[in-house]
Amino acid sequence: MHQKIIIEGGRKLKGEVTVSGAKNAALKLMAASIILGDTCELYNVPELTDVYTMTNLLRTLGAEVDYNEEEQKVTINAAEIDNVEAHYDFVSTMRASFIVLGALLGRFHEAKVALPGGCSIGERRIDFHIKGLEALGAQVKIEGGYVIAKAKKLTGSKIYLDRPSVGATENIMLASVLAEGSTILSNAAQEPEIIDLANFLNAMGCDISGAGTSEIIINGVRQRDLNPLSYTTIPDRVEAGTYIAAIIATRGKAVIRNIFPNHLSAVTSKVIEMGGKITVLDPFSIEVSFCGKLNGVNIVTQPYPGFPTDLQSPFISALVQAEGVSIVTENIYENRFRQLGELRRMGADVQQESNKAIIKGVRQLTGAQVIATDLRAGAALIIAGLCADGVSEVKDIYHVDRGYEKIVEKFSNLGANIKRIELDETNLDVKINNIDEPLF
């Protein structure tokens, strides 16, 4: 089935929305279960296509995996893993699955993992991963589109990353938790998802300190000393930031629940600069509101705690209607402005100059047919459709389903006029929510 999202814009978002578990944390915890060799239970795991992909990948390795969508619970027993090859069919569609490399190498001292893929937002450099694994004593080569790593023994080492790569930090952590001795990882990534992974590993009996800072210390432990565990994934800060951008873009007012507000400090500071208001209601909820004019701002994406690259696309959809000129500088991925041409189809005045998007605010976007070129670009186009005059169609929404759980239902609950359409190509029938009804 091919699907698209239809939006009739012009409504201010209002009400409440509850954020799901963090995709970028849950996927890494699922991969880390390989280290345990026993049973773990993960809660607050969102129902996403990427989660199903990771579930199937773990099964091909020999793990028993059960995903209960209603409880948002994944149960993984990795005791009987008997395969150390992560096939191209899985890893090529989702770059997060590449960190099974570190987990397999750490437990079995060998791994064969396809080179990473996912959305086409930029190059997936793995030299930092390889450098770190080699420092632990692994022999690594690339052959036939696969990374092949083997080690007679893994030994702790001092490792410096030339840049704070999230994936390299995760792979090195997973490879070193069972190594002999201590590993000191400097210039490590500091994202909340790194902290969540370290907390998960520590809960099973690993010895990691410093996660969330630039230096992480991993003291190797024995696998037989690890314990089964239950663990709850952190909330998705990117999903929360996407709804913040949508509320501001539509000049709305709504409450966002199940978030850690401190994970969004760089985002909320820009919202205030844009003319919005953020009110912390309790430790896990905020109210986002807007009144007055929408101001243009400059945004520079940086590793955490800077402004996240995953949110520049949704915020551009707000800035295209802001007063004045905004400049968004993308420092992480070179192809992260692929939605700009689609926004121009909706009347936006936005141009790319090298790694910068130059945005001149317009009074009103107009509905159009657009294509989601990647996960976050898809969310950005949905936000643009919510603001536009008339009806918009967003195609190729399978990208969006990789990272946003029930996005149509959540925007509907906020008052948006939005539908998901299934197109059955065998008979060209259009099915709208599986019932025969007018679209609007």
Active site residues: 119
d(CA 54, CA 432): 29
Q: How far apart are CA 258 and CA 151, in angstroms?
A: 42
Phi/psi of residue 148, nearest 5 degrees: -115, 120
Q: How far apart are CA 199 and CA 345, in angstroms?
A: 45
Question: Which 8-state DSSP code applies to residue 296?
Answer: P
Strands (E), 284-363: 285-290, 299-300, 325-329, 349-353, 356-360
Cα(239)–Cα(256) distance, rounded to whole angstroms? Answer: 10
CA atoms within 13 A on the CB side of 380: 30
Give the chain's length.
Answer: 440
Give the 3-state secondary structure of residue 90. helix
Q: Determine the Cα–Cα distance for residues 360 and 326; give it in Å rounded to an integer.
A: 7
Least Cα distance to 87 among 70, 121, 112 occurs for: 112
Q: Which of 349, 290, 291 is nearest to 319 (CA)?
A: 349
Q: Tell me if 249 sits within 8 A of 362, measured CB to CB.
A: no
CA distances from 137 to 64, 147, 167, 224 (A): 30, 15, 19, 22
Tokens of 423: 């197109």
Q: Treating both helix axes as pointing N-terminal to C-terminal, what angle do 166-176 and 100-108 enclose, rounded to 10 degrees?
A: 10
Omega of the bond leading into 305 within 30 degrees of 0 (cis): yes
As a whole number of Å, the end-to-end CA separation of the chain is: 22
